[in-house]
Homo-oligomer: A and B are copies of this chain.
């Protein structure tokens, strides 16, 4: 197809990296581990943001903004939190540069050293709970349901575009509640909200569950998650929602007057999804020809390519196309008429296939004579000839059908790649030869979990919330187990 894209079957990882760059989603920057999100990639992210933001607001959340910097001492206040986040962060130590005395450029001014170092936020629990202390006095101030869209920094040694970058964009929700039960309900509600967004907008099926203790967020009592399966058989955690108990309220001394006049610590949750979702989107649907985008997130839903010789033919085609473009836009459909004279139709076909535009119309001389368009759908690459007066309803049908079809395809792939195993040997064989999720019995100990991870690189992705009770024995130790948990190698 002239795209020079590595095939998935040859090297999945290389295919992914090439695709992200060639489809103009993102690229590496001059700053180690930090990416540039290009306009086409950012337009997809904006649609994700808009969808999520609407869902957050419909469930009573408000947006706010908290500082980028966190005083070093704040991080230490919650013991397990600092263990989880202190290791990989960007530290601001000075607030001024000056000209080097030898004229060699600019240097850090040693006199401008901060009394206390500032950490570039890896997540904002500490600075936010320091603020909530001032906002919460009484049960009347609760619940406090706040979300923030922000950039965060975690100093990762090995980075990959979208999947793992030193700086990434995300949203982080931080809520405060009167009771333990209400906070748990909130954390669960957000898990379901994330699942709904990822399945309905991104067309990516997910499994909802809770994390084991070793995979929990640093500072959480319980971590809820949604897990997706990529085409290479590896899992990807698409979102997490944490019940934090009273840990942060205690660390930052946030108490409230209860309905019966007592002073109690507040109950908390936090939750987030990030630009990592872009990686999940690319890896779930795309093929050897390029991106496949769900219509709900595609920046361009329909592209129209004219096939013509000379300005007169183009003008005649434009007279047909212009009203169609207008009508589609009135219906809220994002459409591009690519009448650039600098590129051939074949080049354009390739480009829009690479960029995952869901529906492509072409119109040439024969179409003009017959009153038709050639209509191609990106997911199956099928083409058909459609009479002009039926083209709008065809497009509306296709946009819905592609959204459903790629979800269905991903769901079938996942269903085919969830394997129940009853022995550790079988477990290893499935991981090695088939990949995907593996459902197996586990004795519930950290020791066994660690051993499995060390020996197979597979981790417990979650204990699915809809796991059926099933008496069994741990595949490694033979100890009793009451339900299967979900293993996989993961991103």
Which A positions have Cβ atoms within 8 angstroms of B?
Answer: 27, 29-31, 34-39, 42-43, 45-46, 62-76, 82, 86-99, 105-106, 108, 117-120, 127, 130-131, 134, 140, 146, 150-151, 153, 155, 167, 169, 342
8 Å CB contact of A36 from B66, B74, B167: B66
Q: Judge whether B69 and A97 touch: CB under 8 Å.
A: no
Q: Judge whether A106 and B30 touch: CB under 8 Å.
A: no
Roughly how many angstroms separate A130 CA and B30 CA in the complex, as a whole number?
8
Q: Judge whether A140 and B342 touch: CB under 8 Å.
A: yes
Q: Judge whether A127 and B64 touch: CB under 8 Å.
A: no
| Shortest distance between the CB of A212 and any CB in chain B (Å) | 25
Roughly how many angstroms separate A88 CA and B342 CA in the complex, as a whole number?
46
Kindly list chain B residues whose C-beta atoms are within 8 Å of the C-beta of A153.
Answer: 68
Kindly list chain B residues whose C-beta atoms are within 8 Å of the C-beta of A67.
Answer: 29, 31, 34-36, 167
A-B pairs, 10 with minimum CB distance: A34-B67, A39-B62, A37-B65, A86-B97, A91-B94, A95-B155, A31-B67, A93-B93, A90-B92, A39-B64
Q: Judge whether A65 and B36 touch: CB under 8 Å.
A: yes
Question: A151: nearest residue on chain B (CB-CB)?
Answer: B68
Other 16 A-B pairs with CB < 8 A, given A36-B65, A68-B151, A90-B95? A29-B131, A37-B64, A39-B64, A39-B146, A43-B63, A68-B167, A69-B167, A72-B108, A86-B96, A86-B97, A88-B95, A91-B92, A91-B108, A92-B92, A92-B93, A150-B151
Kindly list chain B residues whose C-beta atoms are within 8 Å of the C-beta of A127.
Answer: 29-31
8 Å CB contact of A34 from B68, B72, B91, B95: B68
Q: Judge whether A74 and B30 touch: CB under 8 Å.
A: yes
Roughly how many angstroms separate A86 CA and B98 CA in the complex, as a whole number?
7
- 18 pairs of residues in contact across A and B, judged by CB atoms under 8 Å: A27-B131, A27-B134, A30-B127, A34-B68, A36-B65, A39-B63, A43-B62, A68-B151, A69-B90, A72-B106, A75-B106, A76-B106, A82-B106, A89-B97, A90-B92, A92-B92, A93-B108, A150-B151
Kindly list chain B residues whose C-beta atoms are within 8 Å of the C-beta of A37.
Answer: 64-65
Q: Judge whether A36 and B131 touch: CB under 8 Å.
A: yes
Roughly how many angstroms separate A68 CA and B152 CA in the complex, as a whole number?
9
| Shortest distance between the CB of A204 and any CB in chain B (Å) | 22
Roughly how many angstroms separate A151 CA and B153 CA in the complex, as a whole number?
13
| Shortest distance between the CB of A20 and any CB in chain B (Å) | 14
Kindly list chain B residues whose C-beta atoms are within 8 Å of the C-beta of A36.
Answer: 64-67, 131
Q: Judge whether A87 and B91 touch: CB under 8 Å.
A: no
Kindly list chain B residues whose C-beta atoms are within 8 Å of the C-beta of A66.
Answer: 29, 36
Roughly how many angstroms separate A89 CA and B412 CA in the complex, as a whole number?
52
Kindly list chain B residues whose C-beta atoms are within 8 Å of the C-beta of A43.
Answer: 62-63
| Shortest distance between the CB of A65 and any CB in chain B (Å) | 4
